[in-house]
Structure 1
Amino acid sequence: MTRSTITGIACGAAAGALWGLSLLAPELISPFAPLQLASVRFVTYGVIALLLLAPRLKKILPHLGAAEWWGLLGLSLMGNIIYYSLLSAAVQLCGVAMPSLIVGFIPVTVTVVGALRHDSTVRLRRLAPSMLLSAGGIVCIAWQNFHNADHSQHHSSLLLQVAGLIMAACALLSWTGFVVKNANWLRRLEHLSNNDWNLLTGLVTGGLALLMLPLAFLLPQHLPATGWAHFLMIACGIGLMASVVANAFWNTMTRLLPLTMVGQMILFETLFSLFYGFLWEQRFPTLLEGCAIALAISGVISCVKAHGPAKHS
């Protein structure tokens, strides 16, 4: 492996480690709602981005035209607002198991899109083992979630179940679109640094999140009377670590690795979220969870090997 590949994988792992924290955060903020967590997280992302960009705005703004701002708006919607809203709605309508299975295929969809691009250097056939291993890991996790879920809470009608699955599929497409479009912009805008593009995305995301605040905090009839300091600490901390810092690592990785490898790096989020969950619950992984971890790691290794020189017999 080249030094840039090793650095890219390390950045992908770092992003996954920080994103995994955001999946644990809902367990830490009860009785506050996930939408409240998301709105404060994304507003924090925007405020920090504005503070960090302020000294360099005069230098950056001349490089941004209407196309770039529309691109940032699309990325902010696809990667944050729309994705989270669709996934939350899907979970409420049909439980955790099926949405987690559908969204879990993001590494596969991104890899397929990358392999089908005209500039891809790796054929889809060489990536098939990696995608099958990744898919196997996701199925194990979904099966575990299915058996752990409290199905009594989801006696919704067939129509609502179908609506939930459609929303989960749209969430899958939304985040896949974000990964692909973000990679395209990073390759196009060589005059902007990885972190500048991340902070600009955060600036737009924060502006959109301001529109979420009334929905999150004014519509609920009863807000928690206590625990606000704890909630704000968690939400703002996630905004800093899982948005500002993690996305900076992700953008660096995206510029270093081909899109066919970028998709597989999303598996690090799953691996770290499992690890944090084991620590939080003070237990060892189950057999299915252990299989999922082994399959996910094997998928990443297989993907890296597929990008090496082709062997000719």
Structure 2
Amino acid sequence: MLIGTLFALAAGLMWGLVFVAPTLLPDYPATLLSFGRYLAFGVIALPMLWLDRRRMAQFTRSDWIEAAKLSLVGNVLYYLCLSAAIQRAGGPLPTMIIGTLPVVIAICSNLRDAERDGRLPWLRLAPSLGLIALGIGCVNQSELQQLRADPAADLGRYATGALLAIAAVACWTWYPMRNADWLRHHSDRSPRSWATAQGIATLPMAVLGFAGVWIWNSATAQPFAMPLGPTPGLFLGLMLAIGLFASWLGTLCWNEASQRLPTTLVGQLIVFETLSALAYAFLLRGQWPAPATLLGIVLLVAGVAWALRVRPEPVEAVEAHAG
């Protein structure tokens, strides 16, 4: 439990970086940010493929197809929706919506994976879910008040951002459950090799996507300077950093956690990503969080701590107890 939780914490710290790039690169289209990140991920995975070639040779055709599905939904589509949401609605609204992932995944997994992982009794799970949801609401309260008070706010743009953030939640509700299925059914396989496989599977998608953005910009005479944009050094540095830490290392740590912990519990530990994203946002602003935000962080941490105390029980035991 402890080792799995530490791996989930490390993944959250690195995944929080993905919220930084759209803020630091507001002039870059979300498509370029998404394909640039995963192009870097795929390139970083190539030497890992060579170093781990013996284990990688164990993967079958069906394994590579599964890696491609996970990469398309959990990598490319998720970050495309998230980047576009942040650029359209700003940081607070997407962070609030993405922050519901611990609750959404815990509920979906408790309904779906009870036979395999055991069921967390709803009455014992409810306090942790409630604390996490309440904490997310507190964290975003002051930010959302500022949005409502802004007379120049484009409500249509914010609504589009909200819908894109909801689509990102859908992608990342499906991804960890499907990824955990493969890891639990292949417990003899290395989580590091599986992370590398997803990077390799992402590479051709990222190459085609990046080329498609370049061709589209050229065909429509867009003023954006392809291929690296107006600040190439910052773009390259961020893409490489996110590709290494958030994509490869983050996926590795998440795979390690997924092999050790029930999917229901792992889903709640995604709250570490929300906490990290908020911490990085306030560091970029150079200011301390408001009292409501601090209260929200305390509630989030309390919710996670509560969740770690709840142990899955066999379905029969839960049903007998409920009866």
Same fold (TM over 0.5): yes
User: Which of 287, 290, 305 matches 2:294?
Assistant: 290
TM-score w.r.t. length of structure 2: 0.84
Question: How many angstroms does 1:14 deviate by?
Answer: 0.7
Q: Report the CA distance shift for 1:58/1:92 in structure 2 as closer, same or farther (over 3 A).
A: same
Is the counterpart of residue 242 in structure 1 residue 246 in structure 2?
Answer: yes
Q: Report the CA distance shift for 1:273/1:95 in structure 2 as closer, same or farther (over 3 A).
A: closer
Show the counterpart of 2:110. Answer: 115
Show the counterpart of 2:73. Answer: 78
Show the counterpart of 2:169. Answer: 172
Amino acid at match of 2:144: F
Q: Please say if residues 12 and 250 of structure 1, whose CA atoms lie closer than 8 Å, have aligned partners that are also in contact.
A: yes
Question: How many angstroms does 1:151 deviate by?
Answer: 6.2
Alignment of 1:212-227 (within 5 A): 212-218=209-215, 219=217, 220-223=222-225, 226-227=230-231
Is the counterpart of residue 259 in structure 1 residue 270 in structure 2?
Answer: no
Moved over 6 A (4+): none
Q: Look up the SS of the partner of 2:57 in the other structure.
A: helix
Amino acid at match of 1:261: L
In structure 2, list runs of 5 or more residues that go unmatched.
Answer: none
How many correspondences in the alignment? 303
In structure 1, list runs of 5 or more residues that go unmatched.
Answer: none
Show the counterpart of 1:57. Answer: 53
Distance in 2 (alpha carbons) for counterparts of 1:51 and 1:112 = 38
Question: How many angstroms does 1:77 deviate by?
Answer: 1.6
Q: Please say if residues 135 and 297 of structure 2, whose CA atoms lie closer than 8 Å, have aligned partners that are also in contact.
A: yes
Q: Please say if residues 95 and 154 of structure 1, whose CA atoms lie closer than 8 Å, have aligned partners that are also in contact.
A: no
Question: How many angstroms does 1:90 deviate by?
Answer: 4.4
Question: How many angstroms does 1:96 deviate by?
Answer: 5.2
Amino acid at match of 2:79: Y
Distance in 1 (alpha carbons) for counterparts of 2:153 and 2:209 = 26
Show the counterpart of 2:3. Answer: 7
Show the counterpart of 1:124. Answer: 122
TM-score w.r.t. length of structure 1: 0.86
User: Which of 274, 279, 285 matches 1:275?
Assistant: 279
Q: Please say if residues 139 and 294 of structure 2, whose CA atoms lie closer than 8 Å, have aligned partners that are also in contact.
A: no
- Deviation per residue, 1:12-69 (Å, 9 max, x gap): 1111111112212333335434432322211111111122112443543343133x22
Q: Report the CA distance shift for 1:15/1:107 in structure 2 as closer, same or farther (over 3 A).
A: same
- Deviation per residue, 1:66-90 (Å, 9 max, x gap): 3x22211211122111122233444
User: Which of 232, 235, 242 matches 2:236?
Assistant: 232
Amino acid at match of 2:223: Q
Q: Please say if residues 121 and 312 of structure 2, whose CA atoms lie closer than 8 Å, have aligned partners that are also in contact.
A: no
Show the counterpart of 1:141. Answer: 139
User: Which of 181, 184, 187 matches 1:184?
Assistant: 181
Question: How many angstroms does 1:98 deviate by?
Answer: 4.5
Q: Please say if residues 16 and 272 of structure 1, whose CA atoms lie closer than 8 Å, have aligned partners that are also in contact.
A: yes
Show the counterpart of 1:101. Answer: 96
Distance in 1 (alpha carbons) for counterparts of 2:234 and 2:94 = 29
Q: Report the CA distance shift for 1:187/1:283 in structure 2 as closer, same or farther (over 3 A).
A: same
Q: Report the CA distance shift for 1:225/1:177 in structure 2 as closer, same or farther (over 3 A).
A: closer
